Amino acid sequence: MSRKSSGPDEPSDEGSTPRRSRRAGRTGGANDFKEMFGEPPVNGGPTHGALHEPRGTDRYVRGRTRLTVRELMEQMNAAGGDAPQPSDRPQQGQARRRPPKRSPEPQPPADENPTTVHRFDDLDEVPNANDVTQKIPTIRAEAADVDVDLSDDATRERVTEESRGQGSRARPLQPTPDLSDTIPPRSRPFRHPGPEDRRRNLSRNVTVTGRVMVAVACVMALIGTGFVWGYLQSWDGNWKTINAVNPDDSNIRKKDAQYGDENYLIVGTDTRTGKNGKVGAGTTADAEGARSDTVILVNVPANRSRVVAVSFPRDLQVDRPECQQWDNTAGTYGDAIPPETGVKLNSLYASGGPKCLVQAITQMSGLNINHFIAMDFYGFEKVVKSVGGVDVCSTAPLYDYELGQILRKPGKQKLSGRRALNYVRARNIASEGTGDYGRIKRQQLFMSSLLRATLSGNVLSNPNKLNGIVNTFIEYSFVDGVDTRSLLNLAESMQGIEAGRVTFLTIPTSGTTTDGLNNEIPRTEAINAIFNSIIDDDPLPGEKAKKQKSSSASKKASSSSSGPSTEAAPTKLSATAQSPGNVGVRVLNGTTRSGVASETSDQLVSQGFDVRGVADASENRDETVIRYGAGEQDSAATLATMFPGASIQLDPNVKSGVEVILGSNFDGSLDSPPASGSTISVEQLPAVSASSGLPNDLAVTNAGDATCS
């Protein structure tokens, strides 16, 4: 036993006058040590409940750490009631010693106002201060014909009634029972050397230790339950809800096939009101209202096997349905506005608000959009700060001539706050040369990095950080069809999903309009094929297959999802060279080098070709190929003569012009175009299979790809 030091209220060994305790002015009552525990033992006699230092054998009870909270509670109920407690039984050879009788504590008079809260500034004034640890008995059905209502509403009512019954007038609850009889003894107990009378007190010490462990376990269980329930209630009460989704929209395709799917429309607005002016977004003089500059439609299928996020260009040309006027500052709808054709996608939110945007995206995709989330510049910056920043990587510095320096150096770096906001906002970076498509790619890379960090446990394993993120997200977002419980259920159902099963796609377009608006022309057939594949859970380009159980299944999946074979020997083909101005071309980067498509596009424009856009290809290639649709063979041959070693290939999915997919063998240099009308000879590959109807030039980003780009 360790040596006991004298406390501040004890006399020193020299017999000096003891220092006056802060409680010296109080009455003994429940604080009288002798009344509570009896006289201290003399010459190692029986302790009868006296406090002492536990021995080594008291500090461990075999099997106790293997009990769950539920088992502890069941044992407490089993040992409860009026059954005698082991701690109250006399030791062998000892007379029963009863504690001294004390006069009952005076009960406070009944309060006529049941809502009055009593405060006890002195510990001695607390009623029943000497009661043993108490508990709320577990609710259970005592007879077969008794049904216990365990619904949320009934549980809340019971908790409320039980809480009201904890005042001074309530009937005392049952004392915590001793569990020493329910815990099997050690097969070979440790024999600590000592007097026989000390060994006989071992069961008593185990009893005290058991009560402490049960009390701690119950408190921790209640604290944990209260923590989750409390935050659910506080979070659910803070969501800012607006009217956006419409589950009865007639444009939803194959609604039965989408049963169980979760579709989130995520919108980033460019409003200049409020605190957005502080983050460099400009003022309302620059742009009034709010536009949806970022639109991402996220599909989570019912089987939770993957996630597909489709990005929409801000300048995508769409037809606006009949909507209601939207006041972004007040968050309200007004008078009806007539439909309009050929408008930019980002203008729908400005004129018709969330409902109008959801309606247009539903018409285009056919998906049953059941969740809507919107956030402005300032909210995005605050959320990224609460996350602790996001890692990005670039092969070169990035400078935007409107926002300034985005990344001062190449390589991997962590962005937070303003720098992160500018990284996902910038669309005037000369080195990219892709405008809004470059911004979309950076947004997809940013979200992929955030997803990888979250799945790795850096966020979910830190409750304080997660709480801050959720609170910040709720504070600065506007939602419909979103609450805390639905998000928790979604997160639970997606546990174990790999980042490689999350794929970002970009809506394919075929150049811009020539009416001065420069709207991006959507490729309707390709868009329909993408969303049909999403609804039917068909494989998508760039999507990493799930791990197969057998090698044969893996080979089968690989063969079924692989692209067109180019192993067959090409054949020679004669064609007529076309004028560069009559050749519409899209340049796709099929290499691992960034910026190749933009540089090639500039060279083609300088030679008079009609370049209709650049993007990343959905496949990486070794050799350059020019793919063409019906009636475009001569145009494809004309381009092929300018790329050393290039071939042409018929692709029914190419609906407008031709597409150049740059291979890794392309060194960046182009030959001069052939003379218009001259006969040229090129190599042609077997045609591409169009069984799936999916375009083979989709811009794809896989969240599991951490390659620096």
pLDDT tens for each residue of 209-266: 444 444 444 333 333 333 444 455 556 668 889 999 999 999 999 999 999 999 999 9
In the prediction, which pLDDT does 594 show?
Answer: 76
Bridge-based pairing of strands 610-616 and 584-589 is parallel
Q: Which of 108-117, 293-302, 594-603, 647-656 has the lowest mean pLDDT?
A: 108-117
For residue range 550-566, list pLDDT tens digits in order: 444 343 444 334 344 44
Amino acid 108: pLDDT: 52
Q: How confident is the model at residue 77 (pLDDT cuts 50, 70, 90)?
A: low
Please choose, from the candidates 537, 541, 536, the residue with its C-alpha nearest in 3D space to the C-alpha of residue 503. Answer: 541
The domain in which residue 136 lies consists of 47-90+107-225
Q: Domain for residue 137, yes or no?
A: yes
pLDDT of residue 231: 52
Chain centroid to CA 175: 43
Query: 83: how many CB neighbours lie within 10 A of its CB?
Result: 11
CA-based R_g, the chain, Å: 37
Per-residue pLDDT of 401-448, as tens digits, reads 888 999 999 999 999 988 999 999 898 898 776 788 889 999 999 999
- Mean pLDDT value across residues 304-325: 94
**Angstrom distance (rounded) from CA 166 to CA 162:** 7
Check whether 624 has a pLDDT greater than 90: yes
Residues 6+ apart with CB under 8 A from 537: 301, 303, 305
- What's the pLDDT tens digit per position in 671-703? 999 999 999 999 999 988 766 678 777 888 899
Which pLDDT score is estimated for 197?
A: 53
Sheet strands (E) in 224-353 = 262-269, 292-300, 307-312, 317-320, 323-327, 332-337, 340-344
Assigned domain for 166 exists:
yes
The answer on pLDDT for 342 being more than 50 is yes
Q: Is 634 contained in some domain? A: yes
Coil, strand or helix: which one is 471?
helix
Q: Of 210, 225, 240, which marks where a domain is finished?
A: 225
Instruction: Judge whether 649 lies within some domain.
Output: yes
Query: What is the SS3 string spanning 174-192?
Result: CECCCCCCCCCCCCCCCCC
Tell me whether residue 439 is in a domain: no
Q: Is 266 helix (H, G, I), strand (E, B) or coil?
A: strand
Beta bridge partners of 295: 267, 312
Question: In terms of Cα–Cα distance, which of 237, 248, 293 is closest to 267?
Answer: 293
**Residue listed under structure tokens 């709720």:** 474
> Which CA distances in Å does 500 have to 45, 310, 488, 545, 700?
70, 16, 22, 8, 12
694: left (phi over 0), alpha (psi -120 to 50) or beta: beta
Average confidence (pLDDT) over 330-337: 92
| Residue at 581 is within a domain | yes
**With bands split at pLDDT 50, 70 and 90, how would you rate the model's confidence at 269?**
confident
Q: What is the pLDDT of residue 609?
A: 96
Last residue of one domain, picked from the residues 225, 250, 282? 225
Number of domains in the chain: 2
User: What is the H or E stretch that residue 559 is in?
Assistant: helix 551-561
Mean pLDDT for the stretch of residues 24-31: 48
Q: Which two tokens stand for residue 82?
A: 């009026």
124 within domain boundaries:
yes
Q: Percent helix, strand, coil in the chain (nearest 5)?
A: 30, 20, 50
Spacing of C-alpha 660 from chain mean position: 38
Q: Which range has the top average pLDDT, 457-471, 548-562, 596-610, 681-695?
A: 596-610
Whether residue 62 is contained in a domain is answered as: yes
Least confident of 95-104, 320-329, 346-355: 95-104
pLDDT score at 473: 85
Distance CA 386, CA 547 (A): 34
List CB contacts of 555: < 8 A, sequence separation 6 or more. Answer: none
DSSP state of 694: -
- Residue 620 burial (C-beta neighbours within 10 Å; 0-12, 13-18, 19+): middle
| 86 and 80 Cβ atoms separated by less than 8 Å | no
Phi, psi (degrees; rounded to nearest 5) at 140? -150, 160
Q: Give pLDDT, residue 239.
A: 87
SS3 of residue 310 by DSSP: strand
Residue 424 — φ and ψ, nearest 5°? Answer: -90, -10
Tell me whether strands 411-415 and 477-480 are parallel, antiparallel or unpaired: unpaired
Residue 322 predicted with pLDDT over 50: yes
Q: What value does the mean pLDDT take over residues 485-492? A: 78
